[in-house]
A and B are shown apart, each in its own frame.
Chain A
Amino acid sequence: MISELHARAETLIAKEFVEGISAAEQEWLRTHLRECARCSESASATQQALRSLRTLSVPLPRELAARTQFRVRLRAQELQVREPRWRLIWAMCGASWVGGAATAPYVWRGLEWIGHRAGLPDLVWKMGFGVWWALPAIVAAAILLMEDGERGAARNTGGAA
């Protein structure tokens, strides 16, 4: 019975700091701590551990904020230059897809005609149609991959991440 009381007190001591306890639990715990030296000691140890943790200070590296602000501004400028270029690429992709959709039946027939004239199997000119349709996306993906590669290389030479 007594060990159950101690166990409850231990649980409540930790719970109070981790997630909070109700007023009734608080009242019970205070009463118990007044009467029990062992649990009172445990509560003090917990408080002491947390006080130590809270007061643990870390020295900041010199000019950390200023150096970071400088890097962030540089990157912001870089993005300002790149973004209009990206918007242009996406606009071109969009226009090319719209144009592609509008002319698809004609391109299909044209490729079919060329395929038959050249004696190519159906699969070949149909694949050609697929490539023609996907070309804008392939170009955009290639540019994206190149830019990512450049950024990755720059990051590897500039920092840990």
Chain B
Amino acid sequence: MADDKKSLVQGLRQRDPEVLDRLIEQYQYRLFRYLLYITGDPQHAEDFFQETWIRVLERGHQYDGKFKFEAWLFTIARNLVIDWQRQKKAVSLDAMTDTEEGKGFEIVDEKAKSPLQLFLQSETQGRVQASLEQLPPAYREVLVLRFQEEMQLDEIAKIQATPISTVKSRLYRGLDALKDLLAGGAAS
């Protein structure tokens, strides 16, 4: 395990194309899914996916192996999305994360399907997805990181650059809200 990490650190430092190819293959699904949930749009998720790996290539020497590679990878991806949102002068992910009334990645017409809903066609997935989209982005992101990515609380805290206590409270509130939304959807 330690040897794996050592060779990963070395490969990133040397910008070894084989190592990068392997990492892209290995993390493609998880990274794309995470980006899809935080951008809410498949096209943007794809652009950021590629840009994230370019950053990994350029800044591979900064990865020291102290944390899991995926935590570092997701931090890069998240920062890219935040930078882009700031450039676009939209509400930043960070700003949205602190509000209770954060609406997520804006769906202007509530009856219209979002790009994300169109992307996830099946009915069950659509229902879960619709519930997720109604959650404030801060809650959605922690739920995805904790329960889809199976990340530890300290890893999530590192990615979000927030204290563990904040991560926990977002998880509790997010879980509660998701449960209510799913129950409401099932009842209707």
Contact = CB atoms under 8 A, between A and B. Distances in A.
Contacts of B148: 53-54, 56
Interface residues of B, number: 49
A2 interface: no
Interface in B159-188: 168, 171-172, 175-176, 178-179, 182-183
* Residues of A in contact with B, size category: 20 to 34
Contact of A75 (B43, B54, B119, B128): B54
Contact of A49 (B29, B33, B46, B182): B182
Q: Is the interface of B mostly helix, strand, loop or mixed?
A: helix
A50 B89 CA distance: 34
Nearest to B37: A58
A53 B48 contact: no
Interface stretch (A22-30, A60-68, A116-124): A60-68
A38 to B, nearest CB: 13
Nearest to B87: A161
Contacts of A69: 20-21, 24
Contacts of A45: 179, 182-183
Contacts of A53: 128, 132, 143-144, 147-148, 178
A101 interface: no
Q: Is the interface of A mostly helix, strand, loop or mixed?
A: helix
Contacts of B53: 68, 71-72
A59 interface: yes
Given A53-B143, A65-B28, A59 B48 contact: no
A61 B171 contact: no
A18 interface: yes
Contact of B50 (A46, A49, A68, A79): A68
Nearest to A75: B54
Contact of A71 (B50, B124, B179): B50
B115 interface: no
Nearest to A18: B171
A153 interface: no
Nearest to A11: B172
B106 interface: no
Nearest to B177: A49
Contacts of A19: 153, 168
A18 B172 contact: yes
14 contacts: A17-B147, A18-B146, A18-B168, A19-B153, A56-B132, A60-B32, A67-B50, A69-B21, A76-B20, A159-B50, A160-B43, A160-B47, A161-B48, A161-B84
Interface of A: 14, 17-19, 42, 45-46, 48-50, 52-54, 56-61, 64-65, 67-69, 71-73, 75-76, 79, 155, 159-161
Given A53-B132, A159-B50, 18 more contacts: A18-B146, A49-B175, A50-B147, A53-B143, A53-B148, A56-B132, A56-B148, A58-B32, A58-B33, A60-B32, A64-B32, A65-B25, A69-B20, A72-B20, A159-B51, A160-B43, A161-B48, A161-B51
